[in-house]
Amino acid sequence: MSLIDLANPSRFLKFAERVLPWLAAATAVLMLVGLQQVFAAPDDYQQGATVKIMFIHVPSAWLSMFVWGVMSLAALGTLVWRHPLADVSAKAAVPIGAAFTFIALVTGSLWGRPMWGTYWEWDARLTSVLILFLMYLGLMALWRAVDDPSRAARAAAIITLVGAINLPIIKFSVDWWNTLHQPASVLRIGGPTIHPSLLVPLLIMAVAFSLLFLTLHLAAMRNEILRRRVRTLRLLQASAARA
């Protein structure tokens, strides 16, 4: 099956049904392996056991930006190629991305209190991620505010692309300005500054979180297609009853 075949919602549904159990199983296995590795990982020389928060905080933060990236690609698919599944993908991703951003904010806050001495400060990294979270919430509201899915999709796509400008600001905020948040440890020029014994569990967790997103996204896309079918059937029924 090629990628173009998946553009057909019925084929996509069949594909999703076949792939979802495997994806879910892979997610569960990797999550368990990752958590075991996290449990076995040594404490940090400065932060002690508090460093364990990193294994949830960092993958969630990465995913929060990755999901917006996926939505931006979908937005291009909606606006440029008018791909039938693009807006389904975009709409399905929004709440998942919002959840990851929320987890990143909360775990970061809980981590900040013992290490920095504060739950929250208005530094550039923290503020730009909060803006990302608010934009996710705004998109969720927009999708619900407009009844016609195709009109909602175009408005949401434009907002998504505008919001994508925030992604490089989040990533480089710690390099461009003085911030309370420390600079990048993994995705940086000159290689990671995390010892392998802590880096390996982190990367496993990152892959597990990505698989979790894939699973949830695929399931949410399937649900959205079914929801639209129900909507169409209801509309048909209503117009038939009136005739």
Partner 1 sequence: MTRKQRRLVLIGSALTVLAIAAALVLNALRDSIVFFSTPSMAAEKSIPPGQRFRLGGLVQAGSLERGKQLQVKFVVTDGNASLPVMFTGILPDLFREGQGVISEGALDAAGVFKADTVLAKHDETYMPKDVADALKKQGHWKDESAQQQNAAGAKAATSVR
Q: Taking the alpha carbons of 135, 141, 146, 147 in that order, is the dihedral positive or negative?
A: positive
Smallest distance from the beta carbon of 53 to partner 1, in angstroms?
12
Smallest distance from the beta carbon of 150 to partner 1, in angstroms?
16
Three-state SS string over 36-75 comes to HHHHHCCCECCCEHHHHHHHHHHHHHHHHHHHHHHHHHHH
- Judge residue 41's burial from the number of C-beta atoms within 10 Å of its C-beta, 0-12 exposed, 13-18 middle, 19 or more buried: buried
Map residues 122-151 to x or -, x wherever contact with partner 1 holds by CB under 8 A: xxx---------------------------
Query: Per CB under 8 A, which region of 89-97, 163-171, 222-230, 232-240 contacts partner 1?
Result: 163-171
User: Which of 30, 104, 198, 220 forms a contact with partner 1 (CB under 8 A)?
Assistant: 198
- The pair of structure tokens assigned to 201 is 């569990």
Rounded to a whole number of angstroms, the CA Rg of the chain reads 20
Smallest distance from the beta carbon of 105 to partner 1, in angstroms?
17
Based on CB atoms, which residue is closest to partner 1, 115 or 142? 115
Query: Per CB under 8 A, which region of 6-14, 31-39, 84-92, 162-170 contacts partner 1?
Result: 162-170
Q: Is 109 in the site for partner 1 (CB under 8 A)?
A: no
Q: Left if phi > 0, otherwise alpha if psi is -120 to 50, otherwise beta: which for 117? A: left
Smallest distance from the beta carbon of 64 to partner 1, in angstroms?
19
* Coil, strand or helix at 1: coil
Of the candidates 34, 96, 68, 239, the residue with the CA atom closest to the CA atom of residue 161 = 68
Smallest distance from the beta carbon of 30 to partner 1, in angstroms?
22
Provide the binding-site residues for partner 1, judged by CB under 8 A.
42-47, 51, 54, 76, 79-81, 114-118, 121-124, 161-162, 164-165, 169, 176-180, 182-185, 188, 193-195, 197-198
